[in-house]
Amino acid sequence: VQFLSITLKRIGFGVVLLFIVLILNFFLMHLAPGDIADTIAIDAGGADEEMMDAIRKDYGLDLPIWQQLLKYLAKVAVLDLGYSFYYNISVTDL
């Protein structure tokens, strides 16, 4: 009984820790200067404001921050880690 209790506590602690790390990762990426639309536009050789708005809409950057966080957590929960623009493949395939 004590072994089960300790095991469940450790699993619970691990889940909470993973959740905290995911949230920190999300907010650290959003605190970085610029956004993904800027990076994509630079790689494409530049873009006008209309193109930047389209990129932001495609990647959900036009959504409120809490909706972006929920979308991120939902995708991580099903192991959809996104797409690598550098390697041009899914992150899970790397």
Residue 92 corresponds to which tokens in the numbers above? Answer: 């899970």
Q: How many domains does the chain have?
A: 1
58 occurs within a structural domain: no
Residue 10, in any domain of the structure: yes
pLDDT tier at 23, thresholds 50, 70, 90: very high
Say if 7 falls within a structural domain: yes
The answer to whether residue 92 sits within a structural domain is: no
Pair of tokens at residue 87: 């390697």
Task: Quote the pTM value.
Answer: 0.77
Q: What's the pLDDT score for residue 1?
A: 78
Q: Is 19 a member of any domain?
A: yes
Residue 4: give the domain boundaries: 1-32
Q: What are phi and psi of 56, to 5 degrees?
A: -60, -40
Kindly state whether residue 93 falls inside one of the protein's structural domains.
no
Distance (Å, whole) CA 94 – CA 89:
7
Q: Is residue 8 part of a domain?
A: yes
Output 90 or 10, whichever has higher pLDDT: 10
